[in-house]
Amino acid sequence: MSQKEQEIKFISGNVAAAYAARSAKVQVISAYPITPQTVVVEKLSEFVDSGDMPAQYIKVESEHSVMASLIGASIAGTRTFSATAGQGLLYMSEMVHWAAGTRLPIVMTIASRGIAPPWNIWADFTDVISQRDAGWLTAFASSHQEIYDGVLMAYKICENEEVLLPMFVAYGGFVLSHTFKPVIIEPDDKLEKFLPPLPDEKGWPHIFIDPERPMMHGNLIMPSGFYYEFRMKIHDEMMKSMHIIKQTALEFEKIFGRSYGNGLIQEYKMDDAEVALINIGGLALQAEQAVDELRQEGYKVGSVKLRHFRPFPTEEIINIAKKVDVIGVVDRDTAFGSPTGGAVSSECKSALHGTGIDTIILPIITGIGGREVSVEQQKEEFKKLIKLKETGELPKDMIHGTLWDGILEVK
């Protein structure tokens, strides 16, 4: 169980997520397997079985029951964890909303995959984006290390009394879940300095189960009751969580020495950039490679990693828009019928509304259903932004105002 020294392990993204739950001293895990997440809960079952992790491991019959059981465990005042993906998350959806409504700091990793039909198991963030309005904080990881670090930060953010909301940490299926890289696993003494203490027998400040003092929760509330006010509080505290996220990223950097920007976004070579590309997940890290290669060719380009989609960092997006004339916003997800067809680009556009900033946002959709996105392709995306800046000319073959990059010709 104990990790005395820092260790570098050569592991997959999924195994990094499992190590993070172990490092975070998670007390209850509830699990149902689904590709490409399965290795997370398999690895955790090994940890628990070998006595490496003193946690309760609940095997249930569906994802819906995963979240239902974690809600019970969390109300009882324990630190809880699970992982899911794609259809599993959709099946869990009712309880996903319930967890946020009960204000429980549950953390769950999502190895994102395309939604069926047709059946798809590869990277696509439509699964986690589909839970956009459930009241979960939503973070994306761009590297194996960021999966591990992101889960640690998640507990610190969610369990803060000013937040008390659940959080997703999402990463692309296969792109990160099944690739292997070196990951730093932190020792107990450093973790203890960073993580909040485990909840005591009194549980969370707002709710706890005690057989000596029975209570009801989540029961019917009349329209004249406080339902409306509860909803406002979720939004209010989600918005206020932004400063907790920033503070947590700072503390994380101080203790572990790894920087994640201001927690909400992470900029790369943005200081003198003329155009910028915003990405979520692994494509954000890969875009940094594209930036470096283009800068060698003399192009002044920069990259922005959107770490949090919920809460949405409106102010940060406005600041990016103040720096550059053109921003490409890349969605590896679909939001059918929305203004741009992609969830992130729609929000970025809405962030600029009413600010008087005339920076152009070029919505880009790419990598859907795990379609491979190369560094070369990302360089071409940057070049399209430069062309747009210099000539005002939009890329050819836009579909409803969005560049569907890498799409095959459809008749």
Partner 1 sequence: MIEKKIIEIAFHGRGGQTAITASQLLAEMAYESGFKDAIAIPIIGAERRGAPIQAFSKISRDTQIRSYSSVTDPDFILIFDTTLLMIPRVFATIKEGVILIINSNLKIYFNNNLPKNVKIYMVDATGISLKHELAIEGFPILNIPMLGAFAKVSGFYGLDIMEKVIKKKFGSRAEKNMKTARDAFEMVKEMI
- CA-nearest of 300, 297, 296 to 268 is 300
The pair of structure tokens assigned to 7 is 């260790």
Nearest distance from C-beta of residue 13 to partner 1, angstroms: 10
The footprint of partner 1 on residues 152-191 (CB under 8 A) is 172, 174-176, 178-182
Q: How far is the CB of 91 from partner 1 (least distance, A)?
A: 21
- Count other Cβ atoms within 10 Å, centred on residue 281: 28
Q: Minimum distance from CB of 11 to partner 1 (Å)?
A: 9
Place of tokens 């059981």: 69
Q: Whose Cβ is closer to partner 1: residue 371's or residue 387's? A: 371
| Least gap, CB of 293 to partner 1 (angstroms) | 10
Structure tokens at 206: 């707002």
> Which residue among 68, 100, 285, 362 contacts partner 1 (CB under 8 A)?
285
Give the whole-angstrom CA distance, residue 249 versus residue 73: 27
# residues near partner 1 by CB under 8 A: 20
Query: What would the two tokens of residue 359 be?
Result: 């920076």
CB atoms within 10 A of CB 14: 27
Stretch that binds partner 1, among 46-54, 94-102, 221-229, 285-293 (CB under 8 A): 285-293
Per-residue binding letters, 30-49, with partner 1 (x by CB under 8 A): ------x-------------
Distances (CA, A) of 48 to 28, 42, 143, 152, 200: 10, 10, 26, 19, 21
User: Looking at 58-66, 219-227, 334-342, 370-378, which segment touches partner 1 (CB under 8 A)?
Assistant: 370-378
Rounded distance, CA 139 to CA 151, Å? 9
Largest Cα–Cα separation, the chain: 72
Looking at the Cβ atoms of 158 and 183, the one nearer to partner 1 is 183
* Rounded least distance, CB 168 to partner 1, Å: 20
Give the residue, chosen from 146, 267, 288, 316, that forms a contact with partner 1 under the rule CB under 8 A.
288
Among residues 79, 69, 77, 86, the alpha carbon closest in space to that of 31 is found at: 69
The residue from 184, 375, 386, 394 that contacts partner 1 (CB under 8 A) is 375
When asked if residue 282 is in the footprint of partner 1 (CB under 8 A), the reply is yes
Q: How far apart are CA 390 and CA 401, in angstroms?
A: 19
Looking at the Cβ atoms of 158 and 284, the one nearer to partner 1 is: 284
> Shortest approach of partner 1 to residue 217 CB, angstroms?
42
Q: How many helices (H) and strands (E) does the chain have?
A: 12, 15
What is the binding site for partner 1 (CB under 8 A)?
10, 36, 172, 174-176, 178-182, 282, 285-286, 288-289, 372-375
